[in-house]
Structure 1
């Protein structure tokens, strides 16, 4: 019983002290009626746990008054009215509205001031006194960008001018001369291609040191597939040099992509299979190079072989080259070989332009000449390309948020008897519109066109299948022009699984048989990020405009994208 009484006494005493500490009140009063009205508009903390907290709040309030122009305000008294209430009386005195700041234009460039002051002269500028702190901070950041990371700014010789105005001298202190970036040391991935520092990130030695800018540029490393940052860059300052340490790790960037598709062949009514394999090798020589190899065989007895080689930043210059080879074989009808060589320039991590030449040669394999639309021909084009990519590498399911690819080619097609000018253009773009953390909309628009007076069947565009309009056989649709839209509503269950709808709409024209038609594909799918890679499953049903849906026309596509 005695122990219980002591326990109750301790609990009562503790909570009584706590209640007492929470019951101190602060009231701010003005010296005059005008001061009272002004102070009523300023927020401050009214409840406090002790007298020290009260004095700290009064000091903070006075500093706030200094910043808005009451630089002569003073505290008269802090009076205790009763056991829990304290009244602080403050005299505001004169409010100063503007300040004339005199500066040395040999240190502060006028261009640094023209955006922060409406009134600027050769040796002074005028600002509202309320903005003094933020403007000094801004000027200091500009000095840091100019290579003075240890500079300090403050106002000296503050005097009353007239008409509620002040004047002061802007003093700049810098303990060192202008800093240049002397050394760059990479930790973690020592064989990181140095040309990417100079041309991709544009971080160069012997340039003015600006840590903020360097951190922003270093973050762009995450746009690369083969490397990303471990932590932000760090700097070592010595007496006469500046060394930048960058922490980079090499990531898995080789990829293998394959899919298996099956459906019912409309002519034989038997189950037909199609698929492809796509191998991508990137930065295996620590040069940033890319080699892609693709082989595709579909249910229409069509075979496609693609090989691409990209070599960036040749001889440590901002210029790179691309080589491409494409071989297409249509059963025993014809073969087409497309070769191209391009020079590209990476403007920045998001934008790239290319120009080059492309050569196409197609051969008729038929023993008979009964067909009028398959001919031997050769074409040569001058090409120009533009590419825009915006990444979101933190999302493993959808690493690219926005993409835009434009290509145009101007050239001639030659046969044994004729020569004809031709133009080609292509646009391919997509964007992921995030509704919230789990819901998003994927929107893709793709179009291609051949502009010519006459057309051969073996030069027409081919589309259909998992990479264009789903629910149709791979490359089963021939067109001189096509445009398609892919729309997916995506629901992300977690960081590894998502579900999506399929809504594909296409329009195409075939100038050989004067066909103009609309196509539709509807379905659903899902993606699962496994240890082996990203597994995708699509079920889609395609139909022509005006025709009913048939279950037999449905296509199932299964693909796996693995990185190693």
Structure 2
């Protein structure tokens, strides 16, 4: 009995494929000549079908393919049955028309013709016949985008001669549309000035959906808002309504760090840290407010406040003001005030003009040659560029470039000295792949003057400068810091990084030139409270060997709310 069942299954296994193959229908396409048949074979059309309806549809599609390729006179003659499972489709191929010469009237914008043709004269343009349908679709879309969404294109007076297709392009234009009303959905209190000045979308301008879509992509550059979906438009009989879909983002940040290390003189552990609060768009105006307080182990205290107000009174001009107070133990206190007016060129670029005023007071009982009362004033010009990568929660900014220059004078005991100042801060993230990236940051500053005071020099060093050194422990009239990190993302919320920092500085007061090196490692992790970072680093100079006792550990937590 088992042998009979096995024999039946064996025979069924051989017979079934033959039966299924016999049920398939086969199509052959032939022309009136052998050359035409070879041309049809080159089309790689489908040959096997499960039913006659699919086979018949493919036979008709072959003729459409021929016409699209430029065989405009081709014909599907007939479909004949050769046997029970085979059919033969016969075609007349005709002449191949490679070029189409399309005449247009003087009112057509010739700039859009450059999108479809490289041969354009005063009254006609040429395209390949095989690309003619696509070219007409592109032209129709461009005319629609330029304020006439209901326009139609039509080829009339079609003629064929010497393998060239001739035709006239007829454009049936409707009434040109302009944007009448702009409606923001999802974030009703989105600052109106950002629609007009930041996105540069204004009412009564010609409607162009392609351009509008490109402009609204700039919403991804904002910290306080993002685009939910592409803009949409509603046409009524006498108006055009543009809908922009935006949602508000959490953009306020609070961060700080706690640092500790050994004091080489007292051999005791000392602590330092800072608090940094950034409030953005809390008044739905696009404004920003920053408050920084820093205290370090060298008895240095910094208080810094900055306010930025964009698009004042709906104009493209914004304002920035700030106050910085720095106190060095009982030696001196310096107050710096600045005011700027800025102009946003586009969502990524801005320029600013401003004034910076410094007042410093000597707190020592006995005056010294390096610390004295002074006043200075600088007129400044600056440029700012930023490129975000919003999809990356760990590193939301890919590229930043900020440069400023200023000139002015310093006054000491009614004696004036000319001064100039240059500052640069830029960083870039090079993404090697989804997990690996390289971070590079350059910070540099130069102060030019006849002579210098300690209380006017730049101060750097620490977690936001060259790591492995105490906060603001390095003093210079010229310095440059190069920070590098190799970063590896373990997950989307956890990364580890190396630390290699290089620095060079000059201090003409004590006639010092030095090179510095900072080495270390760290990690960052996204928690429910925010981004937690820990860095371990060790710093040394060119005349000093690396000592573990000089190591610094920096801990910071940046929370977004």
How big is each residue's C-alpha offset from its partner over 1:155-194, in whole Å with a ceiling of 9 and x where there is no partner? 223111x3211111212234x4111111112222211110
Task: Provide the residue aligned with 1:421 in structure 2.
Answer: 418
The answer to whether structure 1 residue 510 and structure 2 residue 511 are counterparts is: no
Q: Give TM-score scaled by structure 2 length.
A: 0.94
Q: CA deviation at 1:552?
A: 0.9
Q: Mark the CA change 1:48 to 1:483 in structure 2 (over 3 Å): closer, same or farther.
A: farther
Distance change (3 Å), C-alpha of 1:165 and 1:363: same
Please give the alpha-carbon distance, in whole angstroms, between the structure 2 residues aligned to 1:189 and 1:536: 33
- Alpha-carbon spacing, 1:446–1:22, altered in 2? closer, same or farther (3 Å): farther
Task: Name the CA shift for 1:516/1:15 in 2 (closer, same or farther; >3 Å).
Answer: farther
Rounded Cα–Cα distance in structure 2 between residues aligned with 1:46 and 1:543: 76
Corresponding residue SS for 2:35:
helix
After TM superposition, list the pairs within 5 Å mapping 1:464-543 onto structure 2: 464-543=461-540
1:74 alignment counterpart: 75
What residue is the counterpart of 1:98 in the other structure? 99
- Structure 1 position 45, deviation (Å): 3.1
RMSD over aligned CA atoms reads 2.5
Rounded to whole Å, the distance in 2 between the matches of 1:131 and 1:495 is 45
| Counterpart-to-counterpart distance in 2, 1:385 and 1:312 | 16
Q: Give the conservation status (yes or no) of the 8 Å contact 2:180–2:204.
A: yes
State how far apart, in whole Å, the 1-side matches of 2:336 and 2:328 are. 14
Give the drift of 1:221.
1.3
Q: Secondary structure at the match of 2:491?
A: coil
Q: Structure 1 residues 400, 84: closer, same or farther in 2, change over 3 A?
A: farther
For these two proteins, the number of residue pairs brought into alignment is 556
2:319 equivalent in structure 1: 321
- The equivalent residue for 2:63 is 62
**1:535 Cα offset (Å):** 0.8
User: Is the deviation greater in 43-52 or in 258-267?
Assistant: 43-52
Query: Residues 61 and 519 of structure 1: is their aligned pair in 2 closer, same or farther, counting only changes over 3 Å?
Result: farther
Which residue of structure 2 aligns with residue 228 of structure 1? 226
Secondary structure (helix, strand or coil) at the match of 1:212 reads helix
- Cα drift, residue 536 of structure 1: 0.8
Structure 1 residues 263 and 27: CA distance shift in structure 2, 3 A: farther
2:330 is aligned with 1:332? yes
Secondary structure of the corresponding residue to residue 284 of structure 1: coil
Deviation track 1:298-321 (CA, whole Å, cap 9, x = no partner) reads 111111110001111111111110
Check the 8 A contact 1:22/1:47 in 2, yes or no: no
Preserved CA contact (<8 Å) 2:28 2:89 = yes
Q: Give the superposition deviation at 1:81.
A: 4.4
Determine helix, strand or coil for the equivalent of 1:493.
strand
Does the Cα contact within 8 Å between 1:21 and 1:48 map onto a contact in 2? no
1:147 aligns with 2:158: no
How high is the TM-score relative to the length of structure 1?
0.93
Q: What's the CA shift string for 1:58-109, capped at 9, x where partnerless?
A: 3333323222211111223444445554443333210112122122222x12
Distance 2:478 2:16 in 1: 82
Change (3 A) 1:372 1:141: same
How many angstroms does 1:213 deviate by?
1.8
1:443 Cα offset (Å): 1.4
Cα distance change on mapping 1:468 and 1:86 into 2, 3 Å: farther
Match of 1:166 in 2: 165
C-alpha spacing 1:210/1:377, structure 2 compared with 1 (3 Å): same
Whether 1:381 and 2:378 are equivalent positions in the alignment is yes
* Residue 15 of structure 1, CA deviation: 6.8
* Structure 1 residue 325: Cα displacement: 0.6
* Contact preservation (8 Å) 1:26, 1:47: yes
CA distance in 2, matches of 1:534, 1:246: 32
SS at match of 1:517: strand
Partner of 1:42: 43
